[in-house]
Structures are given as structure tokens and as C-alpha cells.
Amino acid sequence: MKFGKAITSGFNKLYAVLSAVGLFIIALWMISYWLGFDIESAIDKKIRPENLYIESVKGGSLQQYTQEPLGKVLDTVFTDTKWSYYEVDGKYFVQFDGLHYTAEGNNVAKITFEVKEGANFEVSSIAVDGREFFEFEYVPFMNIVFNEYQSIGI
């Protein structure tokens, strides 16, 4: 009988501790929300940093084309799109993969963006059907993509 009371007493103490910790976390969450700090975003950045980088590229725009978010343009012009994130030597990259259907055939495009400080980014590489573009070809390629987006009229 004494053993059963000890277990019950232990569960009551554990329940009290867990309840206090839970209430403390809820109070901390509410105070930070009231102060304007977004805990969910901070946790998301720590747990899944790829979301931060991918969203900064998708929601951002290139200097020459500031009217539309880049993600909307690329996801409209290309099909079967995929966005991914990776890190190399302390640099952060977001890669876009998509298919482009033309009368000549299907083209597989891969555009890589290097994300800089402050959510700024730039085109790091472009490859279509495995052919790597030279840096001077980036702007004409993106001109074609944005012109096609404008011709679609979305």
C-alpha cells in the first residue's frame, strides 16, 4: 500500500512540474508575442533554415525585374518546379529546377541563386538541358523568361 502511495505521490509531483513548465512556456510565448517577437519564425529558422532562404528568393526579385516575385514568375513559366536549398563553404544556395515546354521540345532548366546577407541574392548559375550558361548569358536568359511571363498575362 505504501508503494502505491509513493507512485501516486511521484506522479502528482511530476504532473505539477510539467504543468508549471507548460505554463511558463505559454506565458513566455504570450509575452514575446505582445512585444512583437515572432517565436514561430525564429524556431522555424533554426529548425528548417532552408525555408528562410527559399522564401527569400521566391518572394524577392531581381534588380532588372522588380514588378513580380521571382517565385511567381518561375513557377508560371516552368512546370514541374522544385525549389531546394544547400550550403557549400559557408555560402547559401537556392536551386530552382523546372521544365519548359516548347515546340522544339522539353527543356530542363536549373537556376541556382546565391543568397547573400539581408535576404539579397543573385544568379549563381544557369543550366538548360545540362549546358552551363556563361555569366554574360544570364541576363538574356532571364529576359526571355520574364518576357514569356508577361506574354502569358497572369
Domain ranges of the chain: 2-37, 47-152
DSSP type of residue 62: B
The pTM of the full predicted model, rounded to 2 decimals, is: 0.67
Q: Is the per-residue pLDDT at 74 higher than 90?
A: yes
Q: What is the mean pLDDT of the chain?
A: 83
Q: Is the per-residue pLDDT at 15 higher than 70?
A: yes
Provide the CA 64 distance to its chain's centre, in angstroms.
Answer: 22
Kind and range of the H or E element at 15?
Answer: helix 2-35
Tell me which residue of 141, 133, 34, 3 sits closest to 78, measured CA to CA: 141
Cα dihedral: 74, 76, 81, 84 (round 10): 40
Can you tell me the mean pLDDT for 132-154? Answer: 88
C-alpha distances in Å from residue 137, one per residue of 105, 118, 140, 148: 21, 26, 6, 17
Contact status, residue 138 vs residue 122, Cβ threshold 8 Å: no
Q: Is the per-residue pLDDT at 7 higher than 60?
A: no
| pLDDT value of position 6 | 58
Can you tell me the mean pLDDT for 37-63? Answer: 75
| pLDDT value of position 3 | 56
Side-by-side strand order, sheet with 105-115: 79-88, 91-102, 105-115, 121-128, 131-132
Task: Please list the helix, strand and coil fractions of the chain in percent, rounded to the nearest 5, in that order.
Answer: 55, 30, 15
Radius of gyration of the chain (CA): 25
